[in-house]
């Protein structure tokens, strides 16, 4: 069965600094996709970045980048130059191909302080 593990319940970072949010995964599928979502207190789940298992390069989207280490089964999210508006819950997720559902980790609450 597929599983996503996020071991950091909470993280603090100072504005303008970089922060890494950890995510490890477990799957036996040779082809898979990993997603990161941001959930502010308003509740909406905002898609941030995607990494495919066969992608040769780490994904980047603006200030977001993914440190993908396939052999270690990790897909850590790096946020550069943190902003106050980055304070939110962050979820790592993987698609279950049998049911088409997204399997989420427990999330990491990021707080950015001035």
Partner 1 sequence: KAGVTQTPRYLIKTRGQQVTLSCSPISGHRSVSWYQQTPGQGLQFLFEYFSETQRNKGNFPGRFSGRQFSNSRSEMNVSTLELGDSALYLCASSLVGGRPEETQYFGPGTRLLVL
Query: Interaction with partner 1 in 4-33: which residues (CB under 8 A)?
Result: 29, 31-33
User: Which positions from 28 through 87 interact with partner 1, judged by CB under 8 A?
Assistant: 29, 31-33, 35, 37, 42-47, 50, 52-53
Q: Cα separations (Å) of 67 from 42, 84, 101?
A: 28, 23, 24
Query: What is the rounded distance in angstroms from the CA atom of residue 109 to the CA atom of residue 1?
Result: 26
| Closer of 44 and 57 to partner 1 (Cβ) | 44
Pairing of strands 10-14, 64-69: unpaired
Q: Which is nearer to partner 1, 37 or 68 (CB)?
A: 37
Query: Please, which residue, 8 or 53, has the CB nearer to partner 1?
Result: 53
Between 28 and 114, whose beta carbon lies closer to partner 1? 28
Query: Interface with partner 1 includes 90 (CB under 8 A)?
Result: no
Q: Give the residue among 53, 60, 93 at the shortest CA–CA distance from 78.
A: 60
The CA dihedral of 64, 103, 95, 13, to the nearest 10 degrees, is 10
Query: What residue ranges bind partner 1 (CB under 8 A)?
Result: 29, 31-33, 35, 37, 42-47, 50, 52-53, 91, 95, 97, 99-102, 104, 106-107
């Amino acid at each position: 069965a597929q599983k996503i593990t996020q071991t950091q319940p909470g993280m603090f970072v100072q504005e303008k600094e970089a922060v890494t949010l950890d995510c490890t995964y477990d799957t036996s599928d040779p082809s898979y996709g990993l997603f990161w979502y941001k959930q502010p207190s308003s509740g909406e789940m905002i898609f941030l970045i995607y990494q495919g298992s066969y992608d040769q390069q780490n994904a980047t989207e603006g200030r977001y980048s993914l440190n993908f280490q396939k052999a270690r089964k990790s897909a850590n999210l790096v946020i550069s130059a943190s902003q106050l508006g980055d304070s939110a819950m962050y979820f790592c997720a993987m698609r279950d191909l049998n049911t088409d559902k997204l399997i989420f980790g427990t999330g990491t609450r990021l707080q950015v302080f001035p």
